[in-house]
């Protein structure tokens, strides 16, 4: 199931998957408890088995320097990036525990900015650092239920979000990356796949960096 506040984006994700007829797109605002509750109610009605794998990748930017950042800009980012991760994880974990799922995996997408900080992104860095602390905490809580929880810190990845970064900024960033290039979504996806698979059966509470060596 691909979930997005934009149904077209979710549908596009489904269409990009092999065997797309086996997948479904659903609409939800991950920052809203009511919307998340409705999402999981719909999932329960349509599927006979509970979710066993969850990837929290929703994220937004509202960049501004501290002296210019509004409360709304800060709150918007925290609501989606951190609260959204909490709401989806809580709902999914309840389903897994209630239904005694023994090989569950929750993967939360953080950011290297959580570790290094970044000018103009105090709100984003705070939200993604929160995701790391949240992930480690729930990994401790859910391990006894057979549910693993890990986080990934991507670096600069070729996405629509990074496409908006000015070229003069990128010329300063690329020399800081030992591999001298940006990463691809597929390279992040491979790490997500590993954390969702039995190959990582003894991995929980970990934070894996996919950065090309940036800020290592």
Contact 155, 198 (CB under 8 A): no
In CATH terms, the fold of domain 52-210 is Rossmann fold (3.40.50)
The answer to whether residue 165 scores a pLDDT higher than 80 is: no
Stretch 103-111: mean pLDDT, rounded?
A: 98
Q: Where are the domains of the chain?
A: 52-210
Stretch 56-69: mean pLDDT, rounded?
A: 96
The structure tokens listed for 89 are 């994880």
pLDDT at 160: 83
Summarize pLDDT for 174-202 with one digit per residue, the tens.
999 999 999 999 999 999 999 999 999 99
From the number of C-beta atoms within 10 Å of its C-beta (0-12, 13-18, 19+), residue 117 rates as: middle
The answer to whether residue 167 scores a pLDDT higher than 90 is: no
The answer to whether residue 70 scores a pLDDT higher than 90 is: yes
Query: How far is Cα 28 from Cα 40, in angstroms, rounded to an integer?
Result: 10
Among 119, 118, 148, 154, residue whose Cα is nearest residue 135: 148
pLDDT at 6: 92
Contact 100, 143 (CB under 8 A): no
pTM, two decimals, is: 0.95
Give rounded-to-5 percent helix, strand, coil for the chain. 50, 15, 35
Summarize pLDDT for 11-47 with one digit per residue, the tens.
999 999 888 678 999 999 999 999 999 999 999 999 9
pLDDT at 20: 67
Stretch 158-167: mean pLDDT, rounded?
A: 83
202 annotated active-site: no
40, 86, 124, 134: which one is catalytic? Answer: 124
> 53-56 and 25-27 as β-strands: parallel, antiparallel, unpaired?
unpaired
């Amino acid at each position: 199931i691909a979930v997005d506040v934009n149904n077209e984006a979710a549908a596009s994700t489904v269409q990009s998957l092999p065997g797309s007829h086996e997948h479904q797109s659903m609409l939800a605002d991950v920052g809203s408890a009511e919307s998340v509750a409705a999402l999981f109610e719909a999932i329960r009605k349509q599927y006979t088995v509970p979710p066993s794998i969850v990837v929290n990748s929703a994220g937004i930017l509202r960049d501004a320097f501290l002296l210019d950042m509004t409360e709304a800009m800060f709150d918007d980012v925290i609501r989606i990036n951190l609260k959204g991760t909490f709401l989806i994880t809580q709902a999914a974990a309840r389903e897994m525990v209630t239904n005694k799922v023994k090989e569950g995996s929750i993967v939360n997408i953080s950011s290297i900015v959580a570790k290094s900080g970044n000018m103009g992104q105090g709100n984003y860095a705070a939200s993604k650092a929160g995701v790391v602390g949240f992930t480690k905490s729930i990994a401790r809580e859910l391990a006894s239920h057979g549910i693993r929880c890990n986080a990934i810190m991507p670096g600069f990845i070729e996405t629509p979000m990074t496409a908006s970064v000015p070229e003069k900024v990128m010329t300063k960033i690329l020399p800081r990356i030992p591999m001298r290039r940006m990463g691809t979504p597929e390279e992040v996806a491979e790490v997500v796949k590993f954390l969702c698979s039995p190959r990582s059966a003894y991995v929980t509470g970990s934070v894996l960096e996919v950065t090309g060596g940036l800020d290592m």
